[in-house]
Amino acid sequence: MFHKGTKIYITGGSGLVGRNIIENQHISNCTILAPKHNELDLTDYNKVYDFINKEKPDFIIHTAGQVGGIQANMSDPYGFFTNNTIMGVNVVRAGKELGIKNLLNLSSSCSYPCNISTPLSEDMILTGPFENTNEGYAIAKTAILRMCEYITKQFEGYHYKTLIPCNLYGRYDKFSPKNSHLIPAIIKKLHDAKINNLSEIDIWGDGESRREFMYAGDFAQIVVDVLENFEKIPTVLNIGLGYDYTINEYYKTVAKVIGFEGNFIHDLSKPSGIKQKLLNIEKQKALGFKCKYSLEEGIKETYNYFINEYKGE
């Protein structure tokens, strides 16, 4: 599938997913287009259209988005909804109008309803309300997912497909408390606590909510595998581990890697978020897509990046 010169346009190429895809050795013979935000504003449709028209990529991988944890989503639902919707619509619409036949859209497990039985299968999309702590983001990601489905069903020869990954972490993650997700937030929190000789750290809620996190390097390899088998891939496909851990277990694993020996105190006045979001990965397993890194191995790689390469946001 990837012959020399295959042209791949990756939106969000400077983000967690984009950078992990770009550094994957299996696409080293491809021409990668990954303009940064200051080079191409995805909220400007005309600029997106002109860029795709000029470059005429063989594939578009849409990874760009405004992302963040519970705090960020709750403080700016308007921004998360508006920016993610506009960027997604612009990229998908321009690709369709310019005849780009292959587009891979990355969605989010936030697209699934809250308070629904797990594991979450692809046919559960839009069968109930979203989690209120990230509703704006969830609506935006679900809208783009549906847009891709409509194009694939309505227009012959177009393969606009969506992967719904579980939570991701790894090299090139964001560690600022303002916009980081759970694992990088824990890494920074416990790293700072160790440096400052703190004896205890607080955990939001009871810490018993369960989360499924995949190392981003593993996810990038699955993305490459998906592109190599693109026509065989379902229109919507979950990508996950098939198992999860409690937030308390993530804290304990990070503490082990970092060497933090303090105590954990639960702040029950803070929200814990949805209790569980475990993905059904039966379709993924049938396609043979697997992960390499264990949780501890992935956290070690991420922590090494944080202390040796991370420059801040």
**Residue 137 known to be catalytic:** yes
- How close are the terminal C-alpha atoms of the chain, in Å? 35
- Residue 271 DSSP symbol: -
Per-residue pLDDT at 1: 54
Are the beta carbons of 73 and 65 closer than 8 angstroms?
A: no
pTM as predicted: 0.92
**What is the rounded radius of gyration, in angstroms, for the C-alpha atoms of the chain?**
19
Q: How far apart are CA 170 and CA 211, in angstroms?
A: 15
- Average of per-residue pLDDT across 120-137: 92
Per-residue pLDDT at 179: 73
Per-residue pLDDT at 173: 94
Per-residue pLDDT at 3: 66
- Torsion angles phi and psi, residue 161, rounded to 5: -120, 155
Q: Are strands 245-246 and 210-211 parallel, antiparallel or unpaired?
A: antiparallel
Residue 117 pLDDT > 90: no
Are the beta carbons of 30 and 5 closer than 8 angstroms?
A: yes
Are the beta carbons of 147 and 92 closer than 8 angstroms?
A: yes
- Average of per-residue pLDDT across 218-246: 96
- Average of per-residue pLDDT across 69-94: 89
Are the beta carbons of 26 and 48 closer than 8 angstroms?
A: no
Q: List C-alpha distances in Å: 38 to 12, 44, 65, 143, 273.
A: 11, 12, 14, 26, 34
- Return the ∠ at Cα 105 (arms to 224 and 218), rounded to 5°: 35
Active-site annotation holder among 9, 112, 137, 250: 137
Task: List pLDDT tens digits, range 147-161.
Answer: 999 999 999 999 999
pLDDT band for 313, please (50, 70, 90 cuts). Answer: low
Task: List pLDDT tens digits, range 3-23.
Answer: 668 999 999 999 999 999 999
Residue 66 pLDDT > 80: yes
Q: How far apart are CA 93 and CA 57, in angstroms?
A: 15
- Average of per-residue pLDDT across 101-111: 95
Per-residue pLDDT at 2: 61
